[in-house]
Structure 1
Amino acid sequence: MLMIRHAIGSRLFLQTEDYSITPRGEQWLISCRATEEEQSNLLEFRHELNLFHVTDENKTWYYSSKGEVHEGDGAITIVADHQTVYPKEEK
């Protein structure tokens, strides 16, 4: 699951199971489908986005220090340059 949240207040902008995360050198290209409203919000708050990739094994936090967000054809791509992996807690 991919969640994109506002860094201030943690407002949820987008949550999806249909996404891709592609490493590119020291960056990650994170792409998914997005409605026009979601794209507008992500572009408006491009410098204040936290992205969380959640799996059964861990949760990974990404962000873009440069606010690099690209839109087009019903999709959004965020270029993240920071990644922190948190292991899931044992229950």
Structure 2
Amino acid sequence: MAIKEIGGTQYYMIHYRRRKKTTDIRIPIGEENGRMFNGTLKEYGDKFNVEISSDAWEAEKKDKRKAVDDLETSLEKKGELWRRIHMSYSVFFK
């Protein structure tokens, strides 16, 4: 999910995996009530008294792992960038 501004209005952009981009939906920010749920699968299941499929649980676990991996990769890249900047400054300002 991402947030994008189109024509001066901000939208939540929701993409369904393994689907064409034409099936993406946009929900205007502020109008998500009833169309989006802010919480975990467990909270959703408890609130609406529904059983969550094993596929959904597995997808949630993969998303959490991917988010952690993305954060670690991003921090590594940031650290490498700072090392390069520091090295170039030390070369120019000896």
Say whether the fold is shared (TM-score over 0.5): no
- Higher RCO, 1 or 2 (CA under 8 Å, sep at least 6)? 1
Of the two, which has the highest radius of gyration? Answer: 2
Question: In which range does the TM-score fall when normalised by the shorter chain?
Answer: under 0.3
Higher share in helix? 2
TM-score of the superposition, structure 1-length normalised?
0.26
